[in-house]
Structure 1
């Protein structure tokens, strides 16, 4: 049964629990689920709270064992980065069918132990069957709870979470319990599909996380980032340890990698940065660290790039991240969108001033919404640009028709989607020209759910 990703999403059919596949014919069918995403207000200054994704049912367990997963996720390389050894006590939270549990059991054998934690007893039954078939020992199935992995205190050397943290219904409580279960020398390996560069876009949006999102939740919870690996095809690999305040004096630990938002790093003199054009869908930053130690720099979606010349302004459409480990200028490409409809697309010779996202709150809210949604690439870029132009230039129907005709769906449908997304981002479309022009496209809509968005605004 198709699962709808977010409000105003293209109807999808799934060949896997988290993967999205959209056919050309299905682009003509739209399903709106407004309640799936919080409606923003134009005055909102902080990103909306992340909504946990639905966890995968045990009925999808076969997908966890798909042969292509080896090449897609490179599990053996990921586990090698953890450096597991004989005797380690490890926990696989969200173990599922035991895809990683079984591999770890071999790495910590013969005296190590793996706690395989899952909240579905049916999934643990599947795991136990596979463990028995492979003749493995040292694996302890654990039926966890939504807010408690049920691990012993101060005994765990490593906790592994692969594509599961984003599903935690109570992440704060789970992080506290994990910290409690770790030895003072213990570490956590967290794997999540990327948001930043598009390599994770074959996975639904609510099953992806950016470095910016992860650090904003894990650092306040008492964890330090000590490694950030990007060698996997589509996923981040984070290595965390307990923060200094949680460790017993004398316990050796790796040095934490300092992490900063870009504007924090600039204001504190840690980096110097310039920005230039790179076409209609990206901005190129050149960034240089001004201190010798490595650092992770993040940039939030909605960061605004004000053109120094006549080209269009740009806005970041995804969170960004770069790890600075070398001296000298480093290139940093960020996914972005043009803001000005009738100005030239920026090229390498065009420069920008960089402004914080909250300086353009309405445009920032639109980008927040789109980052949290899954739109098919055949329509996504155009719908985003239409929405931006509705906000930045008060563009009406006639202004948008030519650009909307670039997607393989009816023009009226594309413009209605852009207007509806704009409204869900907290922008009052009844005050925009597109609302005055609604009779030019709403009567032509064939999707009743999409029509209801405009009917509801008529009544409000």
Structure 2
């Protein structure tokens, strides 16, 4: 894991099984390969790792795996002309309100794309610590700083678990598209707390999971608000701002939470943030859920307190239909900022759970259940949230896998829906079954396993065949 900008890591839509990573390996050039046409999609080689249980079928939600990092060989991508329009760095930095004399740290500085901009904002008396763990990346940064004639920039060679910043001196820490790569996030968060002044703040920018706007970036290089808060709050940070003005990224502003619960005079008010079920149980919100087809669920949610608040919802949250329509399940984490006095509409990405029941309509209502009440379904949805399947194929494979779990669907049950993808039906069903097994569900106990002779012999990819051979005790 290197501290650098991972926005270079474009999503590479693949027909692959996720690998169980024993070590986090660098990505030399950001893996920006795309599948650009139908013929290349169909001919794209399948790479299947025969590991039956990538996700444990335990009660605890699966843990986030740090993303692989890009090496200095991809540094030019960090300076691409289109990055300014894609990420709006000047607007992002303006939200930090940096001023002359500020001492700031750019962790994951890379080629210095943000470092150089911040140096101008804190000049002439401020300083920027430019932290990266790759010496080669710091050399690239130094060359660019010299070319632009900038001063006040101090390159720092950090370590995987230590940014090597001075204690108590930093006004602002900036992390843009890098936190998700930290191999040891707990240690890094602790070191950042030590480096900040009492009034110091952190600006964290990560590509979105929730609404699809960040889907051009690899799945393990995106983070949801739910994921971030679940890691930063226990580490002693309070959320004071959440900005959503960037095209594809969340921007969080954190300050240190005092251990005794007191608040610094100079500190901003903390934004209350809760999971949906916590907010409901504590009376902070009222919410109703209704249908909107087979791919989304609508919530009408009203805050019961006067101040704004952030509400999150985890992937796998279950929506039980009260009428004849299909149940639904959240296929992505969700987030909403409640800042209006009246009800707000919260649209969540979802999937239909019941193959034989009609699509939910606007008049259909749901009862909302926590994700841990449906652990196998939750694990399937969590698996797909973290993957990069081609958009022409991924939604169908995800739906097939969900029906294998929710309705014990067999091959004949899935054929019609599987016929809608530009790959052989047998391959689509095999992929859905293999992913289901990877989510911790034993497919040898499912009807799809009993039906394997209907599709496995037709597979032309030998590696995919081996997934089923490895699961066959005979």
- Stretches of structure 1 lacking an aligned partner (at least 5 in a row): none
Alignment partner of 2:176 out of 136, 158, 162: 162
Residue of structure 2 equivalent to 1:409: 423
- Aligned partner of residue 413 in structure 1, secondary structure: helix
Q: Do residues 17 (structure 1) and 30 (structure 2) align?
A: yes
Cα contact 1:9–1:30 (8 A) shared by 2:
no
Cα contact 2:15–2:389 (8 A) shared by 1:
no
Distance between the aligned counterparts of 1:269 and 1:250, measured in 2? 28
Alignment partner of 2:197 out of 180, 183, 197: 183
Cα contact 2:28–2:74 (8 A) shared by 1:
no
Deviations 1:144-169 (A, max 9, x none): 00000000000000000000000000
Residue of structure 1 equivalent to 2:376: 362
Distance between the aligned counterparts of 1:6 and 1:397, measured in 2? 20
- Aligned partner of residue 393 in structure 2, secondary structure: helix
Distance between the aligned counterparts of 1:108 and 1:34, measured in 2? 52
- Aligned partner of residue 472 in structure 2, secondary structure: helix
Normalising to structure 1: TM-score of the pair?
0.95
Deviations 1:382-420 (A, max 9, x none): 001100111111111111111101011111111000000
- Stretches of structure 2 lacking an aligned partner (at least 5 in a row): 1-8, 20-26
CA offset at residue 372 of structure 1?
1.1
Q: Do residues 45 (structure 1) and 54 (structure 2) align?
A: no
Distance between the aligned counterparts of 1:289 and 1:39, measured in 2? 39
Q: Do residues 146 (structure 1) and 160 (structure 2) align?
A: yes
Deviations 1:353-399 (A, max 9, x none): 11111111111111111111111111111001100111111111111
Residue of structure 2 equivalent to 1:196: 210
Deviations 1:61-97 (A, max 9, x none): 0110010101100000000000001110000000000
Alignment partner of 2:326 out of 289, 303, 312: 312
- Aligned partner of residue 368 in structure 1, secondary structure: helix
| Of 22-31 and 283-292, the range deviating more from structure 2 | 22-31
- Aligned partner of residue 212 in structure 1, secondary structure: helix
- Aligned partner of residue 387 in structure 1, secondary structure: helix
Distance between the aligned counterparts of 1:32 and 1:217, measured in 2? 31
Residue of structure 1 equivalent to 2:48: 32
Distance between the aligned counterparts of 2:251 and 2:40, measured in 1? 34
Residue of structure 1 equivalent to 2:6: none
CA offset at residue 443 of structure 1?
1.2
CA offset at residue 246 of structure 1?
7.3
- Aligned partner of residue 91 in structure 2, secondary structure: helix
Alignment partner of 2:143 out of 129, 134, 138: 129
Q: Do residues 101 (structure 1) and 115 (structure 2) align?
A: yes
CA offset at residue 439 of structure 1?
0.8
Residues 1:126 and 1:38: Cα distance change in structure 2 (over 3 Å): farther
Residue of structure 1 equivalent to 2:24: none
Q: Do residues 391 (structure 1) and 426 (structure 2) align?
A: no
Cα contact 1:30–1:450 (8 A) shared by 2:
yes
Distance between the aligned counterparts of 1:425 and 1:9, measured in 2? 10
Alignment partner of 1:254 out of 268, 285, 290: 268
Cα contact 1:302–1:316 (8 A) shared by 2:
yes
| Of 371-380 and 198-207, the range deviating more from structure 2 | 371-380
Cα contact 2:290–2:297 (8 A) shared by 1:
yes
- Aligned partner of residue 145 in structure 2, secondary structure: helix
Deviations 1:151-201 (A, max 9, x none): 000000000000000000000000000000000000000000000000000
CA offset at residue 451 of structure 1?
1.1
Distance between the aligned counterparts of 2:278 and 2:212, measured in 1? 25
Deviations 1:3-45 (A, max 9, x none): 89896169xxx9961656223234333212356x962233x11
How many pairs were matched up? Answer: 455
Alignment partner of 2:239 out of 217, 225, 237: 225
